[in-house]
Structure formats: C-alpha cells, structure tokens
Amino acid sequence: MGFPGEFLRHTVTEPPGRGVRLRTVPGNFSDHLDLNRLRKRLREKPRTKAGQVRQAWPDIRDLLAAGHSLKDVWAWVNEIGLKIGYGRLSHYIGQLRRRDEAAQLQIREPQAELSEAVIRASAQNRPRIQDETPPTASLTAIQGKLRDPLENVLERDRNRPGFNYNEEPDPKKLI
C-alpha cells in the first residue's frame, strides 16, 4: 500500500464506489508526518452544513451569550454564505449546547470526587457538632446542583395546583 497507481476503494475525500488513484508526495516516506497539509485545511469550508455550523459554533455561542436572538444570528449566518434553515440551525445549536454541557459535566465529575475526598478527610479530623450538616450536603452546596433529568417533573408533581388526594393522610392533620 502506498505505491503510485494503487487504487483505494474508500477514501476520505471521495464517496465510496469510486476508485481513486493514490498520490504520493516525493520524499514523504520519512518518519515524520507532514501536518502542514492538514493545518491548511483547518480554515477551509467544511463539506456538510453541520460541519459549517460546528466551525462557526464558537462565534455563534458568543453572539447568543451577548444577548442576540437566534433569529438575528440565523440571518447573519445566511449572509456570510452558510445557507441553512432556521429550524435546522436551531437543531444543530441544541446539539452543540448539549455536547458542551456533557463535556463540562465530565470535567466536573473528577473535581467533585476530589472535593468529596477532601471534605471527608477534614470531617474525620475534627469533632462533629450536633447541628452540623453532613459532609455530602456541604459538597452539593460547594459544587452546585448536579443535573437531574427528572428534577423538573418531580418538582411539578410536588407543586401541582388543585386537589391532591392522599391515600394515607396524617392523622394529626385531620379534623
């Protein structure tokens, strides 16, 4: 593999089904990789719309964080040559936000484990006061709430307006 004239069946640049002649660069059989060719492609326009939105995501995220509406960002993105529908752009932005949020959560988890270990070690070295909150409660106060996907459903169920039938009422609260 790697000889001039050899055919590749599936390449990165061409769709499957077409045989592409493998081009070799003279003197490129050394132990070093020529990364300059890849670096040149960083600023090229990606082939797919999703790739184009991913490439523009840092700027789009900053515009949205600055308070611009998604509709304005959509219009500006179309002006610069990324022809995309509003719904599709909104979908891609939601995916990218979830991806960023998941990455942040993965970063926080090791920090939370370290914080929990530090709190446990400090709690073992000092006497406990009777009214003191447990170490896990202070841990959640330090790191903030971890995201619970059912939290909003449970909260709505607890605060449901109207009559809520209780099968086992508290006898002290009865008339």
Q: What are phi and psi of 10, to 5 degrees?
A: -125, 120
Task: Please state, for a pLDDT cut of 70, what percent of the chain lies above it.
Answer: 61
Identify the pLDDT of residue 142.
Answer: 46
7's enclosing H/E stretch is strand 7-8
Identify the pLDDT of residue 166.
Answer: 79
Per-residue pLDDT tens over the stretch 59-80: 999 999 999 999 999 999 999 9
Identify the pLDDT of residue 114.
Answer: 62
Task: Please state, for a pLDDT cut of 90, what percent of the chain lies above it.
Answer: 31
Residue 6 amino acid letter: E
Taking the model in full, what pTM does it have?
Answer: 0.46
Residue 147: both structure tokens together: 């995201």
